[in-house]
Structure 1
Amino acid sequence: MTEEKITKHPTTYDAIVIGTGISGGWAAKELCENGLKTLVLDRGRMVKHIEDYPTMHLDPWDLKHRGKFTDGDIKGHTKNRRSGFINQYSKHWFANYEEHPYNESKKFDWIRGYHVGGRSIMWGKQSYRWSEMDFEANKKDGHGVDWPIRYKDIEPWYDKVEKFIGVSGQNLGLSHLPDGKLSDPMELNCVELDLQEKLKDEFDDDRLLTIGRVAHLTGNAMHEGRSNCQFRARCVRGCPFGGYFSSNSSTLPAAERTGNMHLRPDSIAYEIAYDEKTGLASGVKVIDANTKEKIFFKAAIIFNCASAIASTSILMQSKSKRFPNGMGNDSGELGHNLMDHHYGIGASAEVEGFDDKYYKGRRPNGFYIPRFKNLGNDKTNTKNYVRGFGYQGGASRTNWQHAVAELSFGKALKDKALKPGPWRIGMGGFGECLPYHENKMILDNNKLDAWGLPTITFDAEIKENERNMRKDMKAQAVSMLKAAGYKNVRAHEREPILGACIHEMGTARMGKDPKTSVLNKHNQIHAVPNVYMTDGACMTSSACQNPSLTYMALTARAANHAATEFKKNKNT
């Protein structure tokens, strides 16, 4: 076996952060603000805020086919297109499948952004706290392992994150959806307000409708380098105003201002090196994405934040005499317990009686109906499944499709273009997935990528609990719209492919026992305490709320723990 040819970089860093997305950006900010000299790595190209958002101001007529994805665009994006998120305005943010392949034992939509900022540029910004109920769920119903933390452990970090990123919304006083440090809520429109009132009147199980809690700036609070949301709804292109939170507009500039960050794009981290003598990680091995040169960077602390799948892949490739099956894999749980939310199911309807009303702007947000099933009381508990689901949705005038109908010309065309269509309302459920050991990702060493690294194979699916939940998700959506008196209520459902919700979680879970988990209560690898993981890989269960706010809070908490330990060790 030939010895690996690798260049040792002369600089020793206090910390290395792998990844610049939601979690990596926060790790960089907190470590740098604590005074640690930090190398921040991203496998993709550099993206500078504002400067590198090429489609941010384009209108439909500026692109062929008005921005719609066509057969000519499909090359390299067959799996990305399956999800429905990609179009001509955004395709440059999504990793090309042909250049970055993966394998599926069962269908899995792995949506990736290989550039500085990662998916923080394209994310949906929905930002909800988890509750005590969510952190206790595994212990109470016996699925997975118990979380090593509770809500009180993370509550102050939720506070910090919300204040910094700017989350707008309404506090509701619900124990299962804790209140936060929220700025002024966006407004519900007239039809959404109508449904809000009718839910209160027609149902006695505490279900309610509120505006989404979303990481968009509103109100009078100042955020350096950012301004309030402009209601353009062009978020996925990159926001030149910094109206929504992204690493590029917020955490990375904060880290840069300290003078402690060195950002290195085009750097594919593939292994965390282990020192047998110290029992600690000694640094990170990287492949230069352009030259394919291998470089070793040395550091005292490693934050592995490349995403739930990529971070775990790096640990799987980090083999040593101590860890023949991957770093930290004493439990055998590395790569297992893969979760996502299941969605693509709900209902829509037509709404009469509001034809004289319209709305202003393109609100980049919808309404939210928090979980109302299995809350621990007779009114909400069900026998067919455990855990629960929430809904996201919205109401609008039907779009201006009449203006492009081929047979509409002259006066008829002008009249139709000036008159909005009828109101429609729709909602889709987001359901919790249980942590099944058999849902997993593995490495295929026989199928290598362009850099000679193993590709990933997914073997994961929803099971009976989720299928039973989906029946109720559909039925409840239909019943709410019918109870409101709306017309032509129609249910919708599509195949539930994991990954499609882009909330991958659980492949290196936290836990109390090293025999059944990979990470401890501070997000450290049990057996390698100077390696932290705070992205979706660390999650022990999935709840039904969007998870990014929790990733950020866990990251802030772990980075401050790491900085405290580093300074303590430095002074002894």
Structure 2
Amino acid sequence: MKEQVYINKTSEVYDAIVIGSGISGGWAAKELCERGLKTLMIERGRVVEHRKDYTGENTPMWRQEHRGRVENLLTDQQHSVQKQCYAFGNTTKQFFGNDRDLPYQTKEGTTFSWIRGNQLGGKSLTWHRQCYRLGEYDFNANKVDGYGTDWPIRSKDIEKWYSHVEIHAGISGSKENLPNLPDSEFLPPFEMMTIEKDMQEKFSKLYPERPMIMGRTAHLTQPTDLHISQGRIQCQARNECHAGCSYGAYFSTQSSTLPAAAKTGNLHIAPNSVVHSLIYDEKTNRVKGVRVIDNDDLSEREYFANVIFVCASTIGSTQILMNSISKKFPNGIANSSGVLGHYLMDHNFNGVASGEVEGYENEYYKGRRPTGLMIPNFFYKPDRQRDFLRGYALHASAYREGWEAQQAQDGLGVEYKNKLKQAGKWHFQLAAQGEMLPRFENQMRLHPSLKDKWGIPQIEFDVRFSDNEKMMMEDAVEQSIKMLKAAGLKNVSGNTMHGPPGLAIHELGTARMGRDAKTSILNGFNQSHDIPNLFVTDGASFCSSAVQNPSLTFMALTARAVDYAVKEIAAKRI
């Protein structure tokens, strides 16, 4: 990245401003720059350079301080929330927010875990890279059962944009022609282990309506010329992705969209710039700029542009909108509907079951493949016999006990040491990923008195999993146990957990799209109903959570919104 790309103060009026540099922000910048718009990307955190700043990469456990353990007083102070994330560890902690400096509140009697990555690239550096399209069922779900507002788009509206982003990002997977999970533009899938292939065959006979497929993931299993031109090469299957990947083998802002945007010469980046609010011009009914606070010295500055894309993550984007108040919008900019901050959703990962698989003694280790298996949502058709609405997917994995399994067992001397050298039993696990209904009462709001160090009101969350989500997880455990027992596994057991919303890190809703400006913030092109030059293209725009991981849809919606915005600019409607 050229040094002159980064700016601090400037008097230039840009064609476009993109707030945020994660998956959505990276795509917005790429698409805008490639269409010839002078674009400023605003990032609240530090610069992370591809390769150079992956300081935890290639550091095996035995070379890490304290063998990778990060439990200490400093961690408790700085990462009390962040350490709950699956990706947090000794080699990745630099990519997570400091909880001490990023306080938030929860309403009494509720909990919410807000996982943050405030740096250039955002959480695109630490995401789990699972990529699935939404299907017709997902876009129809709200209309069918009456929860939430109807999506203003359908599969046909976004299908070509899915293809557009998939070809650039690189998605590995297998074509399955499933009615409940549309296929993508795929690179070859990762290979299943023998035990997984056998389980797949058993499930296909026992439950033909519940196919188990290889996880679809943003990894280059077979790079195309396009990917190689980006400086990316084949995935090495190290499964150390969260520390950063110098190969560029998984999709991130740093590896893919940022270089593409910078290549045009149209990109500038303002790092260490915490967005306070949007600058609104009531006479023209346009957002004319962005007000920021310096991350380090807390000085104020302003940036100006003709169109604004807010891509700061679901919660971050909504916080900015809420804090942008004026005479016309006293409760947050573009909030004439009053639904800003409401309908907050996250996926529910609170059901799991597993059992022991006999045999396969010659299959010693599961390998380091960076994805698992998945059984798509098989409750995608309305059924009045069920106790809950919507459905769930099951993520599957096979693993064999290692020496860690012997830690708590009795033993002494040579016999015990030799036992530690032997691999233990094989296990197979099914873990649920459930949909969360869009409910008005699940919300985020600005705290009336508490502020952070930048002078921005803290967020207060009031979010709960409803009885619907709880019954869904109970059913997921029941069905998983039934499936594993039918497949011949031994000592099968399962349980439901009580993890809080937020830990799936799939926050959605809060600035939803819709056909009616009285009940939604955005139209079907992620454009504000109230203000023509304001777009929000991250998860805040979702009308429902569906079951699938949402990041691929962030990408497609963003690319589609930029295409629309550029055409509206050309037609002088923005």
Describe the SS at the equivalent of 1:551. helix
Q: Give yes or no for the alignment of 1:365 onto 2:366.
A: no
* C-alpha distance in 2 between matches for 1:518 and 1:160: 26
Match of 2:20 in 1: 19
Given that residues 510 and 539 in structure 1 are in contact (C-alpha distance below 8 angstroms), is that contact kept between their aligned partners in structure 2? yes
Shift of 1:417: 5.3
Q: 1:501 aligns with which of 501, 504, 514?
A: 504
Match of 1:532 in 2: 535
Using a 3 Å threshold, how does the CA distance of structure 1 residues 382 and 211 change in structure 2: closer, same or farther? farther
Shift of 1:527: 0.8
Structure 1 stretch displaced more, 305-314 or 402-411: 402-411
* C-alpha distance in 2 between matches for 1:439 and 1:474: 25
Match of 1:249 in 2: 255
Describe the SS at the equivalent of 2:532. strand
Shift of 1:357: 1.8
Shift of 1:251: 0.5
| RMSD (Å), alpha carbons | 1.9
List per-residue Cα deviations over 1:123-144 (Å, max 9, x = no partner).
0001000001100111111111
The amino acid of 1:155's aligned partner reads: E
* C-alpha distance in 2 between matches for 1:261 and 1:312: 25
The amino acid of 2:246's aligned partner reads: P
* C-alpha distance in 2 between matches for 1:92 and 1:52: 10
* C-alpha distance in 2 between matches for 1:307 and 1:414: 49
Match of 2:32 in 1: 31
* C-alpha distance in 2 between matches for 1:409 and 1:232: 34
Describe the SS at the equivalent of 2:352. strand
Match of 1:159 in 2: 163
| 1:165-564 alignment, distance < 5 Å | 165-204=169-208, 206-222=209-225, 223=227, 224-358=230-364, 361-376=367-382, 382-401=385-404, 412=415, 415-416=418-419, 418-564=421-567
Q: What is the number of residues matched between the two proteins?
A: 561
Describe the SS at the equivalent of 2:14. strand
Given that residues 193 and 366 in structure 2 are in contact (C-alpha distance below 8 angstroms), is that contact kept between their aligned partners in structure 1? no
Q: Give yes or no for the alignment of 1:78 onto 2:72.
A: no
* C-alpha distance in 1 between matches for 2:390 and 2:413: 56
* C-alpha distance in 1 between matches for 2:372 and 2:353: 15
Given that residues 129 and 545 in structure 1 are in contact (C-alpha distance below 8 angstroms), is that contact kept between their aligned partners in structure 2? yes
Shift of 1:264: 1.4
Shift of 1:75: 1.9
* C-alpha distance in 1 between matches for 2:97 and 2:232: 27
Q: 1:139 aligns with which of 143, 150, 160?
A: 143
Describe the SS at the equivalent of 1:447. strand
List per-residue Cα deviations over 1:112-131 (Å, max 9, x = no partner).
00100000001000100000
Shift of 1:197: 1.2
- TM-score w.r.t. length of structure 1: 0.95
* C-alpha distance in 2 between matches for 1:284 and 1:189: 51
* C-alpha distance in 1 between matches for 2:384 and 2:349: 21
* C-alpha distance in 2 between matches for 1:529 and 1:86: 39
Describe the SS at the equivalent of 1:269. strand
Describe the SS at the equivalent of 1:303. strand
Shift of 1:27: 0.2
Match of 1:54 in 2: 55
Match of 1:97 in 2: 99
Describe the SS at the equivalent of 1:17. strand
The amino acid of 1:429's aligned partner reads: A
* C-alpha distance in 1 between matches for 2:292 and 2:140: 39
Structure 2 unaligned runs (5+)? 1-7
* C-alpha distance in 2 between matches for 1:187 and 1:80: 32
Given that residues 366 and 399 in structure 2 are in contact (C-alpha distance below 8 angstroms), is that contact kept between their aligned partners in structure 1? no
Shift of 1:9: 3.7
Given that residues 366 and 398 in structure 2 are in contact (C-alpha distance below 8 angstroms), is that contact kept between their aligned partners in structure 1? no
- TM-score w.r.t. length of structure 2: 0.94
List per-residue Cα deviations over 1:53-98 (Å, max 9, x = no partner).
1100111112233212313332221122334542212111111111
Given that residues 375 and 381 in structure 1 are in contact (C-alpha distance below 8 angstroms), is that contact kept between their aligned partners in structure 2? no
Describe the SS at the equivalent of 1:75. helix
Match of 2:112 in 1: 108
Q: Give yes or no for the alignment of 1:117 onto 2:121.
A: yes
Given that residues 403 and 413 in structure 1 are in contact (C-alpha distance below 8 angstroms), is that contact kept between their aligned partners in structure 2? no
Match of 2:42 in 1: 41
Given that residues 350 and 473 in structure 2 are in contact (C-alpha distance below 8 angstroms), is that contact kept between their aligned partners in structure 1? no
The amino acid of 1:487's aligned partner reads: K
Shift of 1:567: 3.0
Using a 3 Å threshold, how does the CA distance of structure 1 residues 382 and 188 change in structure 2: closer, same or farther? farther
* C-alpha distance in 1 between matches for 2:310 and 2:511: 11
Given that residues 462 and 498 in structure 1 are in contact (C-alpha distance below 8 angstroms), is that contact kept between their aligned partners in structure 2? yes
* C-alpha distance in 2 between matches for 1:527 and 1:394: 47
Shift of 1:360: 6.8
The amino acid of 1:239's aligned partner reads: C
Structure 1 stretch displaced more, 462-471 or 15-24: 462-471
Given that residues 9 and 295 in structure 1 are in contact (C-alpha distance below 8 angstroms), is that contact kept between their aligned partners in structure 2? no
Shift of 1:381: 6.4
List per-residue Cα deviations over 1:527-563 (Å, max 9, x = no partner).
1011100111000001010000001100010011112
* C-alpha distance in 1 between matches for 2:533 and 2:497: 43
The amino acid of 1:307's aligned partner reads: S
Shift of 1:272: 1.0
Identity value in percent: 47
